[in-house]
Homo-oligomer: A and B are copies of this chain.
């Protein structure tokens, strides 16, 4: 029986568990003054080929919202896709952290914000001055919420729009590893070289326990971020345990290997679905998420057999399938067999 419910239901990768265990030996300075944290910062600067400012936190919501709070004033507007995680899955966290900024949403295929609609919404909001909301941030997700990947050129188009209006570009990278794994472009190409100001670089969904890195490509913009982390209660006292996760995650490209595994699993699953007459693909597949629709009765039958996956309410008759590094070929094949 296959579990395609969520990459949040997986356990922690053994190498990361080992790193956590190893970190327990002896005392270490608290609040990020430890050696492991320095190591993570070096590795991320090397990975992104530039000096980055890094804040490690335990959840994706924290990474996203501390990032947004740093880039967006309380009187500001954040423009993003209607499917975005920050819109639908983080309660009023963006409002809390920004001090009451507002999110504006647009449509767009594959949960990529439609550029024209985006520009128009920004225009409308900006035109009314203080009666409306000050356009401040464009936020995109890579992978998008519908499992699609942005190319550097696509990202640069958002950046150009943002820069032309004095706005910032934020990237929610909860599944950034899967985006990199599916791309021939470097992490630097996919982010700051394409104009991204800050990125939340996820690890939790890809083998870590509770660890996300908020990465600023311009240290000046990160000035207030550390205060936002602290006042959000996200500065761990035993910070080495966040660092231990990330240190192992970044060592020997573990992060990339795990994401590749997830993506390979997804490719196998997608091939199986393409060969079936009982399901068709609606979106996704660039990384480890696929959105499909079933012929009548098929979903129920699969669920009854014990396969696990969820309906996706924003697409008609859609279901989301997610693979992870723990997915096995056997699971996939069993699912495809039952599907046919």
Contact = CB atoms under 8 A, between A and B. Distances in A.
Contacts of A130: 91, 226-227, 229-230, 235
B65 A233 contact: yes
25 contacts: A8-B31, A11-B24, A11-B26, A12-B20, A14-B24, A21-B21, A57-B233, A59-B234, A60-B233, A61-B235, A62-B234, A73-B224, A74-B74, A74-B92, A89-B132, A95-B102, A96-B96, A96-B100, A96-B232, A97-B233, A99-B99, A130-B227, A210-B236, A232-B233, A234-B234
Contact of A75 (B27, B132, B205, B228): B228
A92 B96 contact: no
Contacts of A57: 233
Contacts of A100: 92, 95-96, 99-100, 231
B9 A25 contact: no
B90 A233 contact: yes
Contacts of A47: none
A75 B91 contact: yes
A204 interface: yes
Interface in A1-35: 3, 5-6, 8-12, 14, 17, 20-21, 23-31
A59 B10 CA distance: 23
B93 A233 contact: yes
Q: Determine chain A's interface SS by DSSP, over half rule.
A: loop
A186 interface: no
A131 interface: yes
Given A27-B11, A238-B8, A241-B210, A75 B61 contact: no
Given A224-B73, A231-B75, A234-B233, A12 B241 contact: yes
Nearest to A63: B233
Interface string A32-74: 0000000000000000000000000111111011100000011
